Amino acid sequence: MATRTERINDVLRGIRTSSPEVLGAVLVNADGFIVASVVPNEIDDDLIGGMAASLLGVGERIATSLMRAEMEQTYVRSSKGYIIVNAVGEDSALVLLVTRDAKLGLIFLELKHTVAELEKQLS
């Protein structure tokens, strides 16, 4: 029987396998601590966790102050790609590192399925 962390890592590996444009996937808690991570060796997942926590905080403040709603997703676009942060339940977020040439519609579809699976694993 696989542990919860192993099952979560399997889910993260699944989105990387199904979408080659996804370079990395990290599940972080609300404080930015890594729950599970599937990233290339040259990427510092602790840095991702800290940055994701900052982005989550700003995104939540913007959503509640301006939209009077909870933040669901935010992303940053750069010349090399995207960092997508998507809420997973109330206490976690999925961070995806995605190449610039990715078709975001397909990525968002995969992201929706992945978030649903992660929510099952976390409950």
User: For 79-108, how does the pLDDT look when each residue is reduced to its tens digit (9 = 90+)?
Assistant: 999 999 999 988 899 999 999 999 999 999
Q: What is the rounded average pLDDT for all residues in the chain?
A: 91
For the domain spanning 4-122, the CATH number is: 3.30.450.30
Residue 40's alpha-carbon distances to 13, 44, 62, in angstroms, are 12, 9, 31
96 backbone dihedrals φ, ψ, rounded to 5°: -115, 135
Question: Where does the pLDDT of residue 2 fall: very low under 50, low under 70, confident under 90, or very high at 90 and above?
Answer: confident
Report the pLDDT value the prediction gives residue 107, as an integer from 0 to 100: 95
Per domain, the residue ranges of the chain are 4-122
Report the pLDDT value the prediction gives residue 56, as an integer from 0 to 100: 84
Q: Is the pTM of this model over 0.85?
A: yes
Q: Is 10 left (phi over 0), alpha (psi -120 to 50) or beta?
A: alpha
Answer whether residue 1 shows pLDDT above 90: no
